[in-house]
Amino acid sequence: MGEAALRLERRGGVVRCTLDRPPLNLLEPGLIAALRSTFAALAADPAVRVAIVTGAGRAFTAGMDVRVLRDLDVAGATTLITALHDAIDAVHRAPFPVIAAVNGACLGAGFELALACDLRVASAGAIFGLPEVRVGVPSVIQAALLPPLIGPGRAAELLLTGATIGAEQALAWGLLNRVVEREGLDEAVDAFVTTIVACAPNAVRLQKELIVRWRESDLPSAGRAGIPAFASAYATSEPREGAAAFLEKRPPRFGAPR
C-alpha cells in the first residue's frame, strides 16, 4: 500500500513526490516507510537538484490515520513514532532543497512533514494545525521547530489547544513563504524551482547542509561551521565561473553537481 500511495515524477534533477491516499492522504505505516525509503534513495543521487512534496486531491495530508493510533500499546507507539521520526528526518536532512506544495489540509504529522521542508508554498484555502492533544497524544518530531520559527507564545497556542489557522495567518506568522490561489500553486512552486536550479548546484547543497546544522547549533558553532563550507566550494569550478559570469554580465554556466 505504501509504495503505491507515494507517486514520483521526475524531470531531470527535479523530483515531485505526491502523497496519493485521497481524500485526505492520511499517513499509515506503509506510506511512512515509502517516504523514508524514497528520500534515502534520492539523498544518494547527486543528480537531484530539488524535490517537491505535495498531496493528491484536496489535502496535503491531514496527518496520521487515527485508526492506526487507536489500537497501539506502548511498544507499538514507540515503533510507529520512531518510523515517523525517521521518515520526516530523511526529508529534513535531504542534501537538496525540498519544497512543500501545500494544496489543502496540513495537519498533525502532515504539518510536521511540511515543517521539515525548506520552503512552503500554500494555496489560499489550506489550513494548518497540530490537533494531537485532542486525540490524547502530544505533538512531537518537527513540532520542535515551531518555537524558533514563530515564537514560543504562538507555538504554545497551536500545541496546547490543537487549534487550526488559515494560510494567510500562517504566512503572517512566518510559517509560509508564499500563499497563492489553488490554480496558481504549481506555477508558484515552479518559480522557486527555476530559481534554485539556476544557482550553482554544489553551492546549493553546501547551503542546505549549513541550514540544517544551524538549526541544531549554538550561534558561535553555527558561524564557525560556515568556514569549511565556504572553503570547500573552491574544490569545484563554481566560484570561478560565478564570479566570471557576474563580471562579464552573462548568465553563469554551471556544470552538473558533483
Judge whether 3 counts as a catalytic residue. Answer: no
Residues 140 and 113: their CA atoms lie apart, in Å, by 11
Per this entry, what is the length of the chain? 258
Catalytic residue among 3, 9, 28, 132: 132
| Residue 72 CB partners (closer than 8 Å, separation 6+) | 80
Residues 212 and 94: their CA atoms lie apart, in Å, by 9
Catalytic residue among 3, 9, 28, 112: 112
Amino acid at 36: R
179 CB-side CA count, 13 A? 17
Residue 103: which of 63, 142, 56 has the closest Cα?
56
Judge whether 248 counts as a catalytic residue. Answer: no
How many other C-beta atoms can be found within 10 angstroms of the C-beta atom of residue 94?
22
**Rounded (10°) CA dihedral 144, 150, 151, 152:** -40
Which grid cell is 215? Answer: 538549526
Residues 225 and 119: their CA atoms lie apart, in Å, by 22
The residues that are catalytic are 112, 132
